[in-house]
Amino acid sequence: MKAHLTRRYMFSASHRLHSDEMSAEENRATYGKCNNPYGHGHNYTVEVTVSGPVDDRTGMVCNLVDLDGFVHKKILERYDHQNLNLLSEFVKAVPTTENLCIAIYEIVKRGFRKAHLEKIRIEETMMNSFEYSGEDL
């Protein structure tokens, strides 16, 4: 029997959407106000969805203490109150929320072994949310 668990976490970070591969005009046309040279910030909500069999003994897919500890140490400590443009994963990639979603997915996929990672969902604003569940296209 497989069940899903989704846990929500929050952090704040800033970014500037800008690609060195495009001209200043192309960047402004593509990213609009998000290309502001001083950047801008968001209060992100990240949802981590894992799945697995329900353990007969505990009745859980995984222990929330394990998931919370991993996300706090590997995700929240890394991204909270940071300028995303300055982080290694965004040296060559534009720090869009789509790319942030992929980066967080990869961190959880590589490091959290107590349940199967289904997807990462990030809510950037009330109007924008993004999901990533791996390479299956």
Out of 34, 47, 98, 106, pick the active-site residue: 34
Out of 47, 89, 106, 124, pick the active-site residue: 124
Out of 4, 40, 72, 81, pick the active-site residue: 81
* Residue 81 is among the residues annotated as catalytic for this protein: yes
Q: Report helix angle 97-111 to 64-71, nearest 10.
A: 130
Whole-angstrom CA distances from 34 to 40, 64, 102 are 7, 35, 20
Tell how strand 40-53 and strand 116-123 pair up: antiparallel
CB atoms within 10 A of CB 97: 19
The residues that are catalytic are 34, 81, 124
